[in-house]
Amino acid sequence: MNTILATIERAGGPTVCRFSEPALDAIEGSVGRLRNWAVVREVGFSGSPFLRLSSEGRLIVHLPIVGCADPRAETGIISGRLQPGTVVVLEEVAFEEAGRVAQLIGSWLEDESGLSGPIEFHAGPDGFAVGALVFPVVHEPRQSRTPQSVLA
């Protein structure tokens, strides 16, 4: 199976974030807390929530916001940033497969174009059950399709 990857340029921006366990209900609960915090503080949203994937099994849930925020650590919410630059996007990835696919394609992209930051999983229209993997890269990959051997 060949997988088509889209390469785009994106702008950076501020986020608020918190740690979450790697379960859909915990992630959605974290998103709800971030949204509630933003509403109470009268901070607008500037995009859909996303996860930063880490090798330790813990996830960081981010919510892009408009303007500056000054969350207090005791709330469990901290400031973050959406990294600007070139990213490679793989759409329609099931949450259950995101870790495996991120590792496989991330290794291939590291060789192909160099990774420049942590891999992200962005929520789809119906939440995190199906979303998009986003790989910040140093430069656009030479190929727009992953070889069949990568996902085998």
Q: Please list, in sequence order, all residues whose beta carbon lies within 8 angstroms of the beta carbon of residue 95, skipping any fewer than 6 positions away.
A: 24, 121, 128, 129, 130, 131
91 — pLDDT class (breaks 50, 70, 90) = very high
- Work out the number of other CB atoms within 10 angstroms of the CB of residue 122: 18
For the stretch 107-129, pLDDT in tens is 999 988 899 999 999 999 999 99
Tokens of 61: 């849930």
Residue 51 confidence class, pLDDT cut points 50, 70, 90: very high
Q: Does 65 score more than 90 pLDDT?
A: yes
In terms of Cα–Cα distance, which of 127, 102, 143 is closest to 6? 143
Backbone angles phi, psi at 24, to 5 degrees: -55, -40
Percent of the chain, pLDDT > 70?
89
Q: Are strands 50-53 and 6-10 parallel, antiparallel or unpaired?
A: unpaired
Q: What's the confidence (pLDDT) of residue 5?
A: 85
